[in-house]
Chains A and B, each alone.
Chain A
Amino acid sequence: MPIWRLFTTFKAESQPSLMNERIQEKLSILADAAKYDASCSSSGGKRKNENKGLGNAEGMGICHSYTEDGRCVSLLKILLTNHCIFDCAYCVSRRSNDVKRAAFTVDEVVDLTINFYRRNYIEGLFLSSGIFSSPDYTMERLVRIVKKLRTEHKFNGYIHVKTIPGASEELIQEAGLYADRLSVNIELPSELALTTLAPEKNYQEILTPMAQIRDGITQNKEEKALFKKVPAFATAGQTTQLIVGASAETDLQIIKLTDSLYQGYGLKRVYYSGYIPVTDDARLPQVTQPPVIREHRLYQTDWLMRFYGFHADEILDPAHPHLDLEIDPKLAWALRNRHVFPVDVNTAEYEMILRIPGVGARSARRIVAARRFATLTLDTLRQLGVVLKRAKYFLTCQGEGQPILGELSEQQVRRQILFGAGSVRAALVTQQLDLFAQAS
């Protein structure tokens, strides 16, 4: 079927059941093709239901369901179409892949979103697309959908729009007026990988819209401070995604890139998507399992950089370019920096308490609050939620605790934490490491 025919006005077919089957098939194909995008968040929006319309997207996100892979379902995450003129090696919708293709009409997406939302299935819409015809042609359709939802249907639910690489500045600007979040996916964590695996893309085309969105958000904030009524622009910020394991970058390269994106582009989130083998392309690693543990360690590192005051080069350095798969990055850092421990929880600064392995951000805040009332004991710490199994090597309170760190080698502490009584993790990690060994 020629591409232009897919987007002609939707005509109701004579038999409703046939029409229903068709829409169900489209939804199946276009949800299946969109699922590799890891972004799921529906938080941070500031859109209130002030027009007695449908929906409300202020504050906290909500995960409405969870699939059997344990990932959350928050938004109706679909592609407008999986037709694509690009041929990126890592992508299921690449031009040369022989798969069923489909395309929604504008009205179909609007109808699905509204009806799913009314039944409390979803928080809103995540709309992306393969590139058909031209980037602007595609982007224009995406904008038309979100505009229709906002203006004709008074829809105040959450909308996340993926901007199409190469789309014009004006269209991105217009999308930002209706969407709560915009994102441009970098996908490959280095320019070299991008030129090899996605020859039609280039870093410039990705970073330019990213900078444009950043400036749009900043300008919008400044205007809001000055004037009362300013149209919102992507109030939930922008995000991006990096595919992990499709190309040869080290973890150090990845977290350096992440750090520069947070610092330089003010991103709200960087998502990591463990590469799932989709094609037999010779340029890609021939693996059988997605690198889920590596992905998990990258997320932990991401959290350390955003909420725990760590810098990228504290966590990894050229001598240690990869994250330890066996232990979490905070514990790994603590083991390399044993000279700063033990930390006395009754007197230490909040920033230092955050760095104790086994103490999360919530426990750290509680420690600082509770010690104003009473001197803390190990027992209180446990009740506050501190994981003493890891923390006990690195803290003291009132002389309690185990000031034995100095006597143990890094390997000994590591082994005790990993394989100590009741440790189930050890078995899991070994299993996953075995899988890696088989794969390589």
Chain B
Amino acid sequence: MSKLTPIRRSTAPARPNARRPAPELTAAPRDYTYDGTFEGLLTVLFTIYDWRAAPNSIQPEATAQTGLFAQPAHRETDEALAARVWEGLLKIMDKEARARLYHVFLSEDPDRELLIFRYVDLALRTAHDVSENYANADVRRVQRLAQQMFREKHRMEAFVRFEKTADELFHATIEPDFDVLPLLAAHFTKRYADQRWLIYDRRRHYGLYYDLTRPDVVRFEPETPQKSTELSATVLDEREPLFKLLWQAYFDHVNIPERKNMKLHRRHMPLRYWKYLSEKQPREVRFEPIRNKRPPGEANLRLE
């Protein structure tokens, strides 16, 4: 029966939404700067609609490229306004879509601020959820950046290697491609609830420290004379070298030499992550596979 009814695409404009229509941005476009925080960006978003002035550019103040004629409008971060915008976003998108925007912000993509604005503006002016409108380039870009962030976060959950110190702190250093440390807190807090740990982002000079109750962001004096963040052997737990060695032995022995496939190996574990992976560090002695096979033709050799 349904076969006989052709699918009719409605040509009428979208059903008027219950919420207030988005204000038209009628004023002359402006350049905005903010303090580089996500709250600051949310404050700018509020201002754009408050002033009805679309952005030419939105840039962190510290790195802003000022044009010859235009004086950028700097917005001080307003926590209350930011919170209001953050809550308000839920009226036009679901929680996952909103979280994606935060992830896009952390991606450090040069176009991230304007992309977030364009996405929010599209969501404001579309009656239904835009997050699946893959035909739109901005939606695809947001999805793509969020996906990249997710992948990097997932890699960090996998590739962090802790070393135990003599005072029972588990310490790890990372250099992720994007600023994913804030996204790692929940995972590691749930996982290592009963041990103190510190994950330090060496590229962005800050760390995440868990003290058995909650994780906190910690900063160190920028580049102390001791340049390396590697821990010297004296402060390590006495069994730490043993477990590192056992892990390397394990890693070498679960490999099946007959199936060697370095291309696949590198695709899954790109070279740039090897620096902090203990199993990819040079060995004092190589762990050779156990000679446990009798391949055809070798039976005679064994009799010698």
Mark A residues whose CB is within 8 Å of B: 20, 23-24, 27-29, 31-36, 48-49, 52-56, 60, 62-73, 76-77, 92, 97-100, 112, 115-116, 118-121, 154, 274, 276-280, 286, 288-290, 292, 347, 366, 369-374, 376, 380, 383-384
CB closest residue in chain A, given B302? A98
Q: Are B242 and A373 in contact (CB under 8 A)?
A: no
Alpha-carbon gap, A115 to B247, bound state (A): 10
Q: Can you identify 16 A-B contacts, CB atoms within 8 angstroms? A: A24-B246, A27-B249, A28-B249, A32-B289, A34-B254, A49-B190, A69-B257, A69-B260, A71-B254, A118-B195, A276-B256, A278-B292, A279-B293, A289-B258, A369-B133, A373-B133
Partner of A118, one of B136, B170, B190, B263: B170
Nearest 7 interchain pairs by C-beta:
A70-B264, A369-B132, A370-B134, A374-B135, A69-B259, A67-B255, A70-B261
CB closest residue in chain A, given B290? A32
Contacting residues, chain B, for A116 (C-beta < 8 A) = 243, 246-247, 250
Partner of B134, one of A119, A120, A347, A380: A380
Tell me the minimal C-beta distance from A133 to chain B in angstroms: 22
Q: Are B249 and A24 in contact (CB under 8 A)?
A: yes
Partner of A49, one of B132, B191, B298: B191
Q: Are B249 and A290 in contact (CB under 8 A)?
A: no
Partner of B265, one of A29, A67, A278: A67
Number of inter-chain CB pairs below 8 Å: 194
Contacting residues, chain A, for B298 (C-beta < 8 A) = 280
Tell me the minimal C-beta distance from B173 to chain A in angstroms: 13
Tell me the minimal C-beta distance from A218 to chain B in angstroms: 29
Q: Which of B190-235 contact A (CB under 8 A)?
A: 190-195
Whether B3 sits at the interface, judged by CB under 8 Å, is no
Q: Are A92 and B160 in contact (CB under 8 A)?
A: no
CB closest residue in chain A, given B295? A277
Since A27-B246, A97-B294, A277-B295 are in contact, a sample of 5 more A-B pairs with Cβ atoms closer than 8 Å, ordered by chain A residue number, is A36-B256, A55-B191, A71-B256, A119-B161, A370-B135
Contacting residues, chain A, for B193 (C-beta < 8 A) = 49, 52-54
Q: Are A373 and B292 in contact (CB under 8 A)?
A: no
Contacting residues, chain B, for A49 (C-beta < 8 A) = 190-191, 193
Alpha-carbon gap, A154 to B193, bound state (A): 11
Contacting residues, chain B, for A278 (C-beta < 8 A) = 292-295
Q: Are A68 and B132 in contact (CB under 8 A)?
A: no
Alpha-carbon gap, A137 to B151, bound state (A): 44
Q: Are B191 and A56 in contact (CB under 8 A)?
A: yes
Alpha-carbon gap, A318 to B290, bound state (A): 42
Q: Which of B107-138 contact A (CB under 8 A)?
A: 130, 132-136
Whether B152 sits at the interface, judged by CB under 8 Å, is no
Contacting residues, chain B, for A20 (C-beta < 8 A) = 242, 245
Partner of B262, one of A27, A35, A68, A276: A68
A35, A49, A280 — which one has the most chain B CB atoms within 10 A of its CB?
A280
- In the complex where A71-B259, A119-B170, A119-B243 touch, is A31 in contact with B254 (Cβ < 8 A)? yes
Whether B269 sits at the interface, judged by CB under 8 Å, is yes
Mark B residues whose CB is within 8 Å of A: 7, 130, 132-136, 140, 154, 157-164, 170, 172, 190-195, 239, 242-243, 245-247, 249-251, 253-265, 267-269, 277, 279, 287, 289-299, 302
CB closest residue in chain A, given B254? A35
Alpha-carbon gap, A72 to B267, bound state (A): 12
CB closest residue in chain B, given A20? B242
Alpha-carbon gap, A58 to B259, bound state (A): 31
Alpha-carbon gap, A27 to B191, bound state (A): 25
Contacting residues, chain A, for B279 (C-beta < 8 A) = 65, 121
CB closest residue in chain A, given B190? A56
CB closest residue in chain A, given B247? A121
Tell me the minimal C-beta distance from B155 to chain A in angstroms: 10
Q: Are B191 and A121 in contact (CB under 8 A)?
A: no
Contacting residues, chain A, for B246 (C-beta < 8 A) = 23-24, 27, 112, 116
Tell me the minimal C-beta distance from A61 to chain B in angstroms: 10
CB closest residue in chain A, given B140? A383
Contacting residues, chain A, for B245 (C-beta < 8 A) = 20, 24
- In the complex where A68-B265, A278-B294 touch, is A118 in contact with B192 (Cβ < 8 A)? yes
B134, B172, B295, B302 — which one has the most chain A CB atoms within 10 A of its CB?
B134
Contacting residues, chain A, for B158 (C-beta < 8 A) = 62-65
Alpha-carbon gap, A56 to B290, bound state (A): 33
Contacting residues, chain A, for B262 (C-beta < 8 A) = 68, 70
Contacting residues, chain A, for B268 (C-beta < 8 A) = 63, 66, 70, 72
Tell me the minimal C-beta distance from B258 to chain A in angstroms: 5
Q: Are B296 and A280 in contact (CB under 8 A)?
A: yes
Alpha-carbon gap, A34 to B265, bound state (A): 20
Contacting residues, chain B, for A60 (C-beta < 8 A) = 154
Partner of B290, one of A28, A70, A71, A380: A28
Q: Are A77 and B254 in contact (CB under 8 A)?
A: yes
CB closest residue in chain A, given B143? A366
- In the complex where A67-B265, A119-B162, A119-B243 touch, is A35 in contact with B253 (Cβ < 8 A)? yes
Contacting residues, chain B, for A274 (C-beta < 8 A) = 259
Q: Are B292 and A280 in contact (CB under 8 A)?
A: no
CB closest residue in chain A, given B170? A118
Alpha-carbon gap, A288 to B293, bound state (A): 12
Tell me the minimal C-beta distance from B237 to chain A in angstroms: 10
- In the complex where A28-B290, A116-B243 touch, is A64 in contact with B265 (Cβ < 8 A)? no
Alpha-carbon gap, A369 to B135, bound state (A): 9
- In the complex where A290-B259, A373-B135 touch, is A92 in contact with B251 (Cβ < 8 A)? no
Alpha-carbon gap, A49 to B194, bound state (A): 10
Partner of B293, one of A112, A277, A289: A277
A20, A32, A99, A112 — which one has the most chain B CB atoms within 10 A of its CB?
A32
Q: Are A99 and B254 in contact (CB under 8 A)?
A: no
Alpha-carbon gap, A384 to B247, bound state (A): 40
Tell me the minimal C-beta distance from A406 to chain B in angstroms: 24
Contacting residues, chain B, for A100 (C-beta < 8 A) = 290, 292
Partner of B253, one of A27, A55, A380: A27
Alpha-carbon gap, A376 to B264, bound state (A): 34
Tell me the minimal C-beta distance from B201 to chain A in angstroms: 16
Q: Are B254 and A67 in contact (CB under 8 A)?
A: yes
Tell me the minimal C-beta distance from A279 to chain B in angstroms: 5
Tell me the minimal C-beta distance from B249 to chain A in angstroms: 5
Contacting residues, chain A, for B297 (C-beta < 8 A) = 280
Contacting residues, chain A, for B299 (C-beta < 8 A) = 280
Q: Are A69 and B255 in contact (CB under 8 A)?
A: yes
Contacting residues, chain B, for A279 (C-beta < 8 A) = 293-294
Q: Are B292 and A384 in contact (CB under 8 A)?
A: no
